[in-house]
A and B are shown apart, each in its own frame.
Chain A
Amino acid sequence: MSPVIIAIIVLGTTGIAGAVILYAVAKKFYVNEDPRIALIEELLPGANCGGCGRSGCHDFACACAAASSLDNLVCPGAGTEVMTKIGDIVGLAPSTAKAKIAVLHCNGSCANRPVTSTYDGAKSCAILGNLYIGASDCAYGCLGQGDCVASCRWNAIHMDPLTGLPVIDSELCTGCGACTAVCPRHIIELRDKGPKGRRVWVACANKERGALALKECKAACIGCSKCRKICPHDAITVENNLSYIDSSKCKLCRKCEAVCPTGSIIDSGFPLTLKEMEALAATRHQQK
């Protein structure tokens, strides 16, 4: 017999024998998985961001299939539409939790915060923060090395080269919270996305007394309490020389923003006023 035929016979028999064994084992040890898990997983974004509090998308799908209520199960990356579809699959009502978004509690741009040093070490906020206070005198604000940018799986954060601060894209941010966990200064907060994406917050984390805070950054909250006094909805508290707006109470009237002497309260998602539009047009004209 020619070696070719021997080879065909030997390999063929081994192959068939292997296939039989594999088939038998697969039958014997078959795991009966809920078919809905695969259906749910298909709907999920598959980023394994952990924003739902589970170890990944598959784990979340398993939890949904096994759940008796979807109240605590929300995929921040998927949105309400997908959660409704998942609810249809498992026959439960989707959670009514409000959509969240990351906001930055710092407005210490290069123009607002005097730069006191240059840092040329490894590009990481965690490393810089362990070494020293950072490029400005503020011990609370953004360090500007982009740990949040690196942590975002949705490409929703980028560093603005003009301000040196991260910019969070409200279209792309899913509110998974990865950036809030990684920021060594803890200045990124998950807040309610707000109706029509409108929200107001204090863009500062400085807890120093007014005069010192202002010396460190022109846009610092000085804890003057003007915002707290003017707020008609009791949504603002001032603690440790720092103001905080409770997004569940805030009715978006923006009176606080108007009275803030340092401009540390900022908003997002509101249409531009006539004045702002004129100002924007003027700067664009100048740039040309």
Chain B
Amino acid sequence: MSHTFHKGGVHPPENKITASCHIIEVELPREVVVTFSQHIGAMAVCCRSKGEHVKRGDLIAKASGFVSANVHTPISGTVTRLDKWKTAFGYAADTVTIVADDEDHAGDMASIAGRETLRTAKEVASLSDKDIVEIIDNAGIVGLGGAAFPTKVKLSPPSGMNADMLLINGVECEPYLTNDHALMLAAPQKILDGIKLLMKAAGTDRAVIGIERNKDDAIKLFEKLTTGDPSISVAALDVKYPQGSEKQLIKAVTGREVPSGALPIAAGVIVHNVATAYAVYEAVYLGKPLIERIITVTGPSVKRPGNYNVPIGMNIADLVDIAGGVPADTGKIILGGPMMGRAVVSLDAPTIKGVSGILMLPYDKSHRDAVQPCIRCAACVDACPMGLEPYRLATLSRHKMWDEAEDDKIINCIECGCCSYSCPSSRPILDYIRLGKTTVGSIIRDRQSKK
């Protein structure tokens, strides 16, 4: 039996340059810019004022609604500015700037070196599922696979729906990225503790960790650690993109299919990333909110590519400098991986929770080929893991035929980019589908709100 999903998918060159790199701790910066909208959902509301002194891990902005997440500061310091700051994509976002003086910095360094645990294993065992969800909520934990969906929302399914299985996503199918891989090798036991907490919170007694076969060391490590524990198992999966997508991972591991328009919980599964499990461990055992994450800084000509543990809010340009600066031949810098990431216009922007990688591509690899006419080869249809007809959806949204696009389930597109990747005429298929998806999505929301 082959272990992967069957419909569509592609296999781009893996280019995992940083696969054997250990996690490098980044020194705490003296200044961070914390943005309020680091997750999917409503923007968090700032609860600090100018001139206020904050400690590392203090709450900066409070979640404003069910689908929202708290935001904390990764350094101690004084709030010096409350204003707009341009993100890496150029648009302005509300931010807080925190500046640390020598004393703050020394204090933070000492607290990191000390690293006391908040709860002992016994205390953790006595926590109820509700307690764990509350801790996760307070810690501002979001899905660290890239989408940054608030974790507590996934753990609070609609009534009547129950998960019988927790799926842990260690697939990391994006080329170049190795942050999850590095974390799995560095802290497997902590991840397993996090998984147990997530299982308790979700009310399931079974968890499966899905890992692709190109991470053989991680598979062996987890298999060794989970022998004798029947509740947690490891699924070694064949390498295929986009296996890290929720629906494809569920199909690959369980064979179940998530119905169109439904959440994974409808198939009885909740999916969390390995890094999210690690963040849950840190929040529950150490009382540490989500203020750091691992970011892969990579690219063919980067001087010191690696997996960096970065305080969230640190300037991207500073992080790139640590990795050896922007190579002279760079033509494009992408936040995330090459398949789903987005190119940036400026590096003078803060890092946020959803950034999994910074990829610097040389000039000759950073341009699209000239667009040719569609030759009706249906390569995009074969490649689409959601069973859609990308060429048709792209044409429909180019002609603004939203009703037809809705009928053809444009909303089901997961924006993996397999269609554009496989197109021999290098047509911008996904660009148009994404436009159609957002437009149709807002049409549907308008319709529902009128009802």
Chain A residues with CB under 8 Å of chain B are: 116-117, 120-122, 124, 126-127, 130-134, 137, 139
Can you pick out 14 interface pairs between chain A and chain B where the beta carbons lie within 8 Å of each other? A116-B90, A117-B345, A121-B368, A122-B428, A122-B431, A124-B432, A127-B432, A127-B434, A131-B89, A132-B89, A132-B91, A132-B344, A133-B345, A137-B90
Please tell me if the beta carbons of A121 and B431 are within 8 angstroms of each other in the complex.
Answer: yes
Please tell me if the beta carbons of A139 and B435 are within 8 angstroms of each other in the complex.
Answer: no
Interface presence of B213 (CB below 8 A) = no
Q: Which residues of A contact B435 (CB under 8 A)?
A: 124, 126-127, 130
- Interface members, chain B 325-349 (any A CB < 8 Å): 342-346
Please tell me if the beta carbons of B90 and A134 are within 8 angstroms of each other in the complex.
Answer: yes
Interface presence of B438 (CB below 8 A) = yes
Please tell me if the beta carbons of A127 and B431 are within 8 angstroms of each other in the complex.
Answer: yes
The number of residues on chain B lying at the interface, defined by a beta carbon within 8 Å of a beta carbon of chain A, is: 18
Give the residue of A121, A137, A139 whose beta carbon is less than 8 angstroms from that of B428. Answer: A121
Q: Which residues of A contact B432 (CB under 8 A)?
A: 122, 124, 127
Please tell me if the beta carbons of A131 and B342 are within 8 angstroms of each other in the complex.
Answer: yes
**Residue from A122, A133, A134 having most chain B Cβ neighbours under 10 A:** A122
Task: Give complex CA distance A126, B402 in Å.
Answer: 15
Chain B residues with CB under 8 Å of chain A are: 86, 89-92, 342-346, 367-368, 428, 431-432, 434-435, 438
Q: Which residues of A contact B92 (CB under 8 A)?
A: 139
Q: Which residues of A contact B428 (CB under 8 A)?
A: 121-122, 127
Task: Give complex CA distance A45, B103 in Å.
Answer: 76
Task: Give complex CA distance A137, B348 in Å.
Answer: 13
Known A-B contacts A127-B431, A127-B435; A133 and B368 likewise in contact (beta carbons under 8 Å): no
Please tell me if the beta carbons of A132 and B343 are within 8 angstroms of each other in the complex.
Answer: yes
Task: Give complex CA distance A122, B367 in Å.
Answer: 13
Please tell me if the beta carbons of B345 and A132 are within 8 angstroms of each other in the complex.
Answer: yes
Taking the closest CB of chain B, its distance from the CB of A120, in whole angstroms, is 5
Please tell me if the beta carbons of B434 and A132 are within 8 angstroms of each other in the complex.
Answer: no
Task: Give complex CA distance A122, B368 in Å.
Answer: 10
**Residue from A126, A134, A139 having most chain B Cβ neighbours under 10 A:** A126
Task: Give complex CA distance A132, B86 in Å.
Answer: 11
Can you name the residue of chain B whose Cβ is closest to the Cβ of A116?
Answer: B345
Q: Which residues of B contact A121 (CB under 8 A)?
A: 368, 428, 431
Task: Give complex CA distance A287, B375 in Å.
Answer: 44
Can you name the residue of chain B whose Cβ is closest to the Cβ of A137?
Answer: B90
Known A-B contacts A120-B367, A120-B368, A121-B368; A133 and B90 likewise in contact (beta carbons under 8 Å): yes
In the complex, besides A132-B342, A137-B90, 18 extra interface pairs with C-beta distance below 8 angstroms are A116-B346, A117-B343, A120-B367, A120-B368, A121-B428, A121-B431, A122-B431, A124-B431, A124-B432, A124-B435, A127-B428, A127-B431, A127-B432, A127-B434, A131-B342, A132-B91, A132-B345, A139-B91
Q: Which residues of B contact A133 (CB under 8 A)?
A: 86, 89-91, 345
Q: Which residues of B contact A126 (CB under 8 A)?
A: 435
Task: Give complex CA distance A29, B435 in Å.
Answer: 45
Can you name the residue of chain B whose Cβ is closest to the Cβ of A135?
Answer: B345
Task: Give complex CA distance A214, B435 in Å.
Answer: 31
Task: Give complex CA distance A124, B371 in Å.
Answer: 14
Q: Which residues of A contact B431 (CB under 8 A)?
A: 121-122, 124, 127
Can you name the residue of chain B whose Cβ is closest to the Cβ of A120?
Answer: B368
Taking the closest CB of chain A, its distance from the CB of B317, in whole angstroms, is 15
